[in-house]
Amino acid sequence: MQYHFADRIARAPASFLEELFRVSSDPTIISFAGGLPSSALIDTEGIARATREVMEEEPQVALQYTTTDGYLPLREFIADRYRHRLGVPATADEIQIVNGSQQCLDLFAKLFLNTGDHVGMERPGYLGAIEAFSLYEPVIDTVPLEEDGPDLNAFERLVKKTQVKFFYGIPNSQNPSGRTYSQEKRKAIAEILESSGTVFYEDDAFGELFFDAQPRLPVKRRVPDQAVISGSFSKTVAPGMRIGWMYAPSGILAKFNVVKQAADLHSNFLCQKILHRYLTTHDLDANIRKIVAAYGRKCRLMCELFDDLMPQLTHTRPEGGMFLMATLPAGLSSRRVFDEGVKNKVAVLPGLPFYVDGGGTDTLRLNFSSASDEQIAEGMQRLARVIASLR
């Protein structure tokens, strides 16, 4: 039978993330292509304890339906942390629990985008966002992402002339580039926004993962009514629970709540309860210090091996997060590096899917959080041999 799908389905980019997950599941391949946090750094004992307590004390509540907005004490924990860590006056009323921050991408696009509306993002930009936004059939406009943040002239043109509904960016340790906006650019972005009707969407998946464990202040701090922040426990506690949140002005969040309810009523309550119990009985900051110490070491190792083994490539030098981006010497295609890499048991991700305009064919994204130090050392040697063989 022939099925008559909606037009938006033809716009969906090929499902690259899933492809990758499958490649990455071959245990003989050392993979820098995926985006997993380190399994070894998940506090399984602490989470097991929290789980036991929830199941002993209030299983009937945790296993029943709940409200769409999410578990109030968890939302209060998140709001408190914004206040104390970043000096942002968040309240629980401004927090909506979702299924990992990917769901924010879908619901926010659904909330704002008519077919043909303009939406802005960085170039390169996060693949998961491109996939989510594309299904609402917008025009995606991009702004070059420089070392210290978006090209401000291009950003200003986009916001003032094209009047994008919202601009989506990852100011902290961006995926895929690993770049972080400077404070100067954050300030300039806020000033440009103020004379426009564009909402700024800060995806803050990595803001807790700076290797120096220091906070960077969000753009939203300067334009509270004109910005939203999405967050996630996937990188600081555990991804398998799929608990993230949207932090937004109440005028946006009330409508966001309506689309969330239509999407799946509410996020799974058992994990919300477990997570809240875990967060209030364990030291999240100590856990994060362990994670950033390990990721900082792995990132430096990967950068130094690049410089030592593949001096013909350039690469970013992330201050945090889980990814860096490398640029190949002229004439070398990332697709060939990927194909030859897989044959030689090392996987890297071609940058292509992060460019909505078909660019980036000479770029690679590498993940440094998931592999062990030994795997990074061995994998980078394999990659160096692949690149040498292709020149």
95-98 and 244-247 beta bridge pairing: antiparallel
Joined together, the tokens standing for residue 102 give 């990917």
Q: Which residues contact 221 (CB under 8 A, 6 or more apart)?
A: 86, 87, 88
Shortest distance in whole angstroms from residue 66 CB to a copy of itself: 7
Shortest distance in whole angstroms from residue 263 CB to a copy of itself: 5
Pick between residue 209 and residue 252 the one whose CB is nearest to a copy of itself.
252
Give, as one character, the DSSP assignment of residue 329.
P
Pick between residue 118 and residue 336 the one whose CB is nearest to a copy of itself.
118
Pick between residue 119 and residue 383 the one whose CB is nearest to a copy of itself.
119
118-123 and 139-146 beta bridge pairing: parallel
Contact window for a copy of itself (CB under 8 A) among 143-151, 168-176, 263-271, 328-336 = 263-271
Q: Which of residues 107-136 bind a copy of itself (CB under 8 A)?
A: 110-115, 117, 128, 131-132, 134-136
Q: Given phi > 0 = left and psi -120 to 50 = alpha, else beta, which region is 70?
A: left
Q: Is 257 in the site for a copy of itself (CB under 8 A)?
A: yes
Pick the binder of a copy of itself from 96, 226, 334, 363 (CB under 8 A).
226
Contact window for a copy of itself (CB under 8 A) among 63-71, 206-214, 354-362, 382-390 = 63-71
Q: Is 231 in the site for a copy of itself (CB under 8 A)?
A: no
Q: Which of residues 268-297 bind a copy of itself (CB under 8 A)?
A: 268-271, 274
Contact window for a copy of itself (CB under 8 A) among 1-9, 145-153, 179-187, 210-218 = 1-9
Q: Which of residues 340-369 bind a copy of itself (CB under 8 A)?
A: none
Q: What is the Cα–Cα distance from 27 to 29, expressed in whole angstroms?
A: 5
Pick between residue 149 and residue 244 the one whose CB is nearest to a copy of itself.
244
User: Omega into 176 within 30° of 0, i.e. cis?
Assistant: yes
Q: What is the Cα–Cα distance from 69 to 75, expressed in whole angstroms?
A: 9
Q: Which of residues 20-39 bind a copy of itself (CB under 8 A)?
A: 21-22, 35-37, 39
Pick between residue 153 and residue 250 the one whose CB is nearest to a copy of itself.
250
Q: How far is CA 122 from CA 40, 155, 158, 287, in A?
A: 32, 9, 11, 31
Joined together, the tokens standing for residue 384 give 């160096």
How many residues lie near a copy of itself (CB under 8 A)? 89
Pick between residue 129 and residue 387 the one whose CB is nearest to a copy of itself.
129
Q: What is the Cα–Cα distance from 169 to 292, expressed in whole angstroms?
A: 22
Q: Is 316 in the site for a copy of itself (CB under 8 A)?
A: no
Pick the binder of a copy of itself from 73, 222, 249, 372 (CB under 8 A).
249
Give the residue among 294, 313, 295, 299 at the shortest CA–CA distance from 366.
Answer: 299
Joined together, the tokens standing for residue 139 give 């025009």
Shortest distance in whole angstroms from residue 26 CB to a copy of itself: 14
Is 205 within 8 Å of 174 (Cβ atoms)?
A: no
Shortest distance in whole angstroms from residue 262 CB to a copy of itself: 5
Shortest distance in whole angstroms from residue 109 CB to a copy of itself: 9
Q: Is 4 in the site for a copy of itself (CB under 8 A)?
A: yes
Pick the binder of a copy of itself from 191, 240, 317, 329 (CB under 8 A).
240
Pick the binder of a copy of itself from 2, 28, 214, 389 (CB under 8 A).
2
Whether the CA torsion 258, 137, 125, 192 is positive or negative: it is: negative
Bridge partners of 232, per DSSP, are: 244
Strand extents, DSSP E, 159-298: 166-169, 199-203, 227-232, 244-247
Pick between residue 99 and residue 180 the one whose CB is nearest to a copy of itself.
99
Pick the binder of a copy of itself from 3, 311, 374, 391 (CB under 8 A).
3
Q: What is the Cα–Cα distance from 63 to 60, expressed in whole angstroms?
A: 5
Bridge partners of 315, per DSSP, are: 326
Q: Which of residues 175-214 bind a copy of itself (CB under 8 A)?
A: 197, 199
Q: What is the Cα–Cα distance from 292 to 212, expressed in whole angstroms?
A: 8
